[in-house]
Copies of this chain bind each other. A is one copy, B any other.
Amino acid sequence: MELDEAKQRFIQAWGTLGSNWGINRTMAQVHALLLISAEALCADDIMEKLKISRGNANMNIRALIDWGLVFKELKPGERREYFISEKDMWNVVRQIIIHRKKKELEPVLRVLNDVSDIEGDGPDQEAFLDVIKEIQLFASKADKTLDKLVSSDANWLMKTFMKMM
């Protein structure tokens, strides 16, 4: 396979993976493109390589910066902004965990807590609370484990992987 074809295939695969996980396909593709670029790229480079509009490029670059997966790189004497991506896979995963945990796991924990406070105490209420309690137990364990995960270093992660395997 030619290098350019391989790059294309990787970008497509990363885009599909992203969109299956609720991450905008283009956002994932921009990330993939930057991951395999030796050089920092500017908005026009990204527009051209992915064949997307300026608005689309801009929005997704901002989102990636927001997620801590992409950084601006200012070249001396150059006006336009260039972008590079976080290359360390562990940091990439860590940032994704931080971002999604806050956006999704935490609201669910709040709802579980809210709905635990119900009126009455018949068998229906008991049964409902039992289910909610189990989910709560599981979710808060996951929450704490992810906290530990993101605050740990790559080395710790590797050791954990090893222990698990």
What's the tally of chain A residues with a CB closer than 8 Å to chain B?
Answer: 57
Interface membership of A74, Cβ < 8 A: no
Q: How many copies of this chain sit in the oligomeric assembly?
A: 2
Residues of chain A from 32 to 76 with CB closer than 8 A to chain B in the complex? 35-36, 38
Residues of chain A from 10 to 25 with CB closer than 8 A to chain B in the complex? 10, 13-14, 16-17, 19-22
Residue among A35, A38, A93, A131 with the highest chain B CB neighbour number at 10 A: A131
Contact flag A125-B3 (CB < 8 Å), given A9-B115, A13-B111, A160-B164: yes
Specify the main secondary structure of chain A where it touches its partner.
helix
Interface membership of A78, Cβ < 8 A: no
Binding site for B on A (CB under 8 A): 1-3, 6-7, 9-10, 13-14, 16-17, 19-22, 35-36, 38, 87-90, 93, 100, 103-104, 107-108, 111-112, 114-115, 117-120, 124-125, 127-128, 131-132, 134-135, 137-138, 141, 144-145, 148-149, 158, 160-161, 163-165
A-B contacts besides A6-B128, A89-B138, 8 pairs, CB < 8 Å: A7-B128, A13-B107, A13-B111, A19-B22, A21-B22, A145-B164, A160-B164, A163-B163
